[in-house]
Structure 1
Amino acid sequence: MEVVLRKMGNSTALIIPPPVLRDLGLAIGHALTLETTAQGGLLLTPKRKYVLADMIAACDRSAPPPADMADWDDLPPAGSEAW
């Protein structure tokens, strides 16, 4: 698909056709990151919003906690914490 860069005020705009937006699940207001490649191309990537449930689902619950976490369990309260 060919697209054309257009002048908009003092900027240059790339118009993304509606079918492409639909395929990617994008709409006006969504954030994207723009990078250049070593081959002279552009890489435009949607920034995904993180959802706590998705991040928890991606965790390996059988993995042992980091070694430095045990230190936290042995520390005395430093303020008015109530455990």
Structure 2
Amino acid sequence: MEIVLKKMGNSTALVMPPPVLKDLGLSVGHHMTLNTTPDGKIVLTPKRRYVLADMISQCDLKAPMPADLALWDVARPVGQEVQW
């Protein structure tokens, strides 16, 4: 299948025919990342959607707090901060 790159404003657009979109399971509004390989191929990957619960489940809750973050707990107020 041959395609033609088109000018859209200051960008160049790639118009994908409906059969290709259907084969890839894509539609208008899908967020993708685009990369190229050293041999000139284009790689489209669906953009990953992060879920907070999944990210937290990967954390080591017993890991020590980084030293620079621990300093916030003992820092003195310097302005109009609310005190707990």
C-alpha distance in structure 2 between counterparts of 1:63 and 1:56, whole Å? 13
The answer (yes or no) to whether the contact 2:5–2:15 under 8 Å persists in 1 is yes
Q: Distance in 2 between matches of 1:5 and 1:64?
A: 56
* Change beyond 3 A, Cα 1:5–1:35: farther
Task: Give TM-score, length-normalised by structure 1.
Answer: 0.68
- For residues 18-63 of structure 1, the C-alpha deviation after alignment (integer angstroms, 9 at most, x for no partner) is 3531xxxx54311001111102111111111222111111211121
Runs of at least 5 residues in structure 2 that lack an aligned partner in the other structure = 8-12
Q: How many equivalent residue pairs?
A: 76
The aligned residue for residue 18 of structure 1 is 22
Q: Is the 8 A contact 1:5 1:12 kept in 2?
A: no
Instruction: Report sequence identity in percent.
Output: 42
Alignment-mate amino acid for residue 6 of structure 1: I
Q: Flag the 1:54–1:5 CA change in 2: closer, same or farther, 3 A.
A: farther
The 8 Å contact of residues 34 and 43 in structure 2, kept in 1 or not, is answered as yes
Name stretches of at least 5 consecutive residues in structure 1 with no aligned partner.
Answer: none
> What is the TM-score normalised by the length of structure 2?
0.68
